[in-house]
Structure 1
């Protein structure tokens, strides 16, 4: 078994595969494995080569220590895993997949074991380096899955993980017209662009301070948002206060042209929608969602889509329903305290 010196614990991984950390030379094989798995499991979204390039460029979560790829004797990638962690955050997040033809043979269990061991290492290393801000947080691994992937639920449950949250994907058809939403005279809606990157980052960190599971986005994390290969700033907008120029609200959107073929429709996706506390109750979220629908429709989209915490305390679920969004699928968040 081959392994990179920095890749972390390898003892739980299947000896039928050769394991090593992901590198630039592996991008094509890594992306092909994920696409091959997605063709069978049909997730709402999956990572493509451009996303993996971003992952390899991370300085906060270097790939040499936080990714793993397993290759069969013919050199075909059959499994992958990785973790990511905000050093000051309360959890690490695990990602991975196993080639459909190799599922059910224990490889997934081994990958989960690697993620758990690597998570323990990360928390210990961050604490020793003082990178955790002195929080002394106990290691926790978080996993996400879509409800239809029952094989993942069995795997996670058998490994001792527990469901801690549900999220709803919601769609709003665009052929049904658009709701009317008007901003008051002290506010202005503008298209998102580079000059707003930092102000919106600061506004996002403040707006999501009371959201479950959210952690502040650092410079690298925010760079992943604004430089996402699917990001569409032309479909995104920000509400600013005229007098001060302060960000009141923002809607950051993306579009996955590749998913249109598999899903049978084109969607504009609201990745992030946030309202600063002092501007809540003034209709800014409604105005941004209505604006997003018009932008999506003008760009040829069939639906407006977003994802929402089913237990959000902000009233967002009721707002989306009022705007015509309907829940179409559910995903779950699983945690394991280590």
Structure 2
């Protein structure tokens, strides 16, 4: 049972940088917000500690924790991008306790981010243009209104898609010349190269460095190599599928959800059924391990035809979110 805090006025709140010891309170705040927002995203203290340890996050200068006494009521976090070319795409993540919304807390966090992002960007990528991105669920219209008021515009839309594993996983032929194998860290660097090449034309994508790849993809505590697969052609990686699992989802819902975070195929192997073969491997293994469903997020205007691939594999749209952007 979540008890609502007794709400104080905004002037009495304490604003400071996040600290490592705050992750438990932060996880409780995320849980309280999810009850209302229903975005499907949940994180435990370990997941959030990992975020604070990311080298793309300036904990002292790029985070804000808002406290009412000993209760954490809002958090803001700015994440730098791994590249400043052609522009530096930064991300703002913010959450406020439902009891503190429409009281000016979210507005102050949003304005803090607008003031802080250019300074952080200049320190990392001097002279580069800056874009500040934020994801807004269609289930949270108040958040959309807030960011529109602060000068952000929606520039892209994404479907959150679900594939229930109670249904059978149909056979998919593996294309000639391809070998599908479980993820092997011996191919980690090559997998990153495939990701960078295959996402080069995707809107909002940046090349991943060795460090950002490790911290955001295959080196995270949520990464599941046993549910991730590679397509090998002539001893080289032709396509990748990476999967993550967040235990916080299971604790909250009782369901085990596997999240496909990345599917990428080299141009020479597209339209030949390679991604479909990787998808079948993940769905089959997740079903074998007792997962209830597999989730993913896809750009509704993805240029590679990914949306059609996912629908053919049995995924259905669950809800949608928008990417809001403010340029400097």
Which TM-score applies when normalising by structure 2? 0.90
Instruction: Show structure 2 runs of 5+ residues with no match.
Output: 1-9
Return the offset for 1:188.
0.8
Alignment of 1:80 onto 2:79:
no
Distance apart, 1:236 and its partner CA: 0.8
Aligned length: 315
For structure 1, the 5+ residue unaligned runs are: 1-13, 129-135
In the alignment, the residues of structure 2 paired with residue 185 and residue 120 of structure 1 have an alpha-carbon distance, to the nearest angstrom, of 50
* Deviation for aligned residue 1:263: 4.4
Shift of 1:35: 2.2
SS in structure 2 of the partner of residue 91 of structure 1: strand
Q: How far apart in 2 are the matches of 1:127 and 1:171?
A: 38
Mapped partners of 1:174, 1:31: distance in 2: 28
RMSD of aligned alpha carbons: 1.7
- Superimposed CA distance per residue, residues 249-303 of structure 1 (whole angstroms, 9 cap, x where no aligned partner): 1111122333245446432221111101111122101101111110110011222
The aligned counterpart of 2:94 is 96
Assess if the C-alpha contact under 8 Å between 1:162 and 1:335 holds in 2: yes
Q: 1-side partners of 2:35 and 2:167: how far apart? A: 31
> 2:108 maps to what in 1?
110
Aligned to 1:48: 44
1:120-167 CA distance string (max 9 Å, x none)? 112222344xxxxxxx43222111021111111121122121110100
The answer to whether the Cα contact below 8 Å between 1:123 and 1:139 also exists between their aligned partners in 2 is: yes
The answer on whether the counterparts of 2:162 and 2:316 sit within 8 Å (CA) in structure 1 is: yes
Which aligned runs of 4 or more in structure 1 are off by greater than 6 angstroms? Answer: none
1:228 aligned partner: 220
| TM-fit CA distance, 1:309 | 0.4
Contact 1:60 1:220 in 2 (8 A): no
Q: 1:154 aligns with which of 141, 145, 148?
A: 145
What's the CA shift for 1:34?
A: 2.0
Report 1:169-318 matches (<5 A). Answer: 169-224=160-215, 225-241=217-233, 243=234, 245-260=235-250, 262-263=252-253, 265-318=255-308
